Amino acid sequence: MKLLFATNNSHKLREIREIAGKDYQILSLNDVNMATDIPETRDTLEDNARQKAQFIYDKTGFSSFADDTGLEVDALDGRPGVYSARYAGEGCSFDDNVSKILEELDTIENRKACFRCVVCLILDGNEYLFEGRIPGEISRERRGTDGFGYDPVFQPDGHIQTFAEMPPHLKNGISHRGIAASKMFRFLQKK
């Protein structure tokens, strides 16, 4: 089965392709010659995931899905959450965001955080949502070079490595995106 992944994030694309395995061919926007910005203007993960998937479905008519992900930090009352991409300001890099979170938590003992991912699938015009969460904590400094985004400072509960220290298959096997996407693939298998 072919599905179009509505993302401009190449790291997410790589992860989803690994999670999908051989039964699904995950097409990128490039594969369908769609170089476009995808609007992402809502203020919940659910609404942003819907907006991204629906936008691409409307443009292509192709079975499409999108993911919206946020890092929710307890001591920051759930921030940066839905604003995780622009946490350190418009046009900021992954590294800027990591620096900001380390600064904000500098003197704070409670490092608990959670990655939450919402996947929205549009299939034959119908919409389906799947959620994945993983609890963990924000490390005191960056560790590891794999992954992307906040991975160098996110250590999932029950593990001694950050996501950036894990080989990709280990992150994908336990991550917020892995959980949400696996729910979608299980749903599709039953269809």
CA angle 68, 74, 76 (to 5 degrees): 85
Q: Quote the CA–CA distance of 160 and 90 in Å, as a whole number.
A: 33
Considering only residues 85 through 104, tell me which ones interact with ligand ITT, judged by CB under 6 A. 85, 94, 97
Closest approach, Cβ 120 to ligand ITT, in A, equals 11
One symbol per residue from 5 to 34: x for binding ligand ITT (CB under 6 A), - otherwise; what is it?
Answer: --xxx--x----------------------
DSSP-derived secondary structure for 130-149: EEEEEEEEE-SS---SSS-T
Which of 68, 77, 96, 146 is an active site residue? 68
Longest dimension (CA), the chain: 50
Q: Do 131 and 116 touch, CB atoms closer than 8 A?
A: yes
Interaction of residue 50 with ligand ITT, rule CB under 6 A:
no
For the chain, what is the total number of helices (H) and then of strands (E)?
5, 7
Interaction of residue 155 with ligand ITT, rule CB under 6 A:
no
For residue 68, indicate whether it is catalytic: yes
- Residues marked active site are found at 68
- Report the interface residues with ligand ITT, using CB under 6 A: 7-9, 12, 38, 40, 67-69, 84-85, 94, 97, 147-151, 163, 175, 177
